[in-house]
Amino acid sequence: MNYRDTLIAVADDCQVSTAVVPPSRNGRKTVATVQFELIGDDPGGLTQEDVLFESWLRRQESPEPPAAERAELRRQFFAGPQACLRASPLPKKYGWGLLFDEAGRVRLCPMESAEYKRITRGEVPGVQVLKAMRSSRA
């Protein structure tokens, strides 16, 4: 399920022209806020599966589970279908590309950065570019 050597580029209907930090809503962290913090706090340290599971777990209203229970929760979480990070609000709404390395580890890549522009123009060999899913129907 993890991407490798891939940039998830900002969606075509993204409404920002530069990357913005996703806000909390009503004093609570949103999926975008949690994913931004996870990836931003550990750039190149997490896989897509890590981000999806951790963002789900952190939004639950329960204490941190012990390691054995955590492993079982992760197994149950991935037992069913899960949306990939192409559906993340970071590249859909907030202007953040998600750049995966050869090991499948992800880091943020702001849409206004020189690196993002080089990759999306095809100037970085070996990096596949996939667009984030649109927020609205075409």
85 exposure class (CB count in 10 Å sphere: 0-12, 13-18, 19+): buried
What is the mean predicted confidence (pLDDT) over 79-100? Answer: 95
Q: Are 49 and 1 in contact (CB under 8 A)?
A: yes
Rounded to whole angstroms, the Cα distance separating 117 from 15 reads 17
What integer pLDDT is reported at residue 135 of this predicted model?
Answer: 83
Model confidence band, residue 37 (pLDDT cutoffs 50, 70, 90): very high
CA 131 to chain centre: 12
CA 70 to chain centre: 21
* pTM exceeds 0.85: yes
Q: Are 103 and 46 in contact (CB under 8 A)?
A: no
- Farthest CA pair distance, the chain: 46
Each domain of the chain, given as residue ranges in start order, spans 6-131
pLDDT digits (tens, 9 = 90+) for 54-84: 999 998 877 888 888 999 999 999 999 988 9
Rounded to whole angstroms, the Cα distance separating 23 from 87 reads 18
Q: Are 95 and 111 in contact (CB under 8 A)?
A: yes
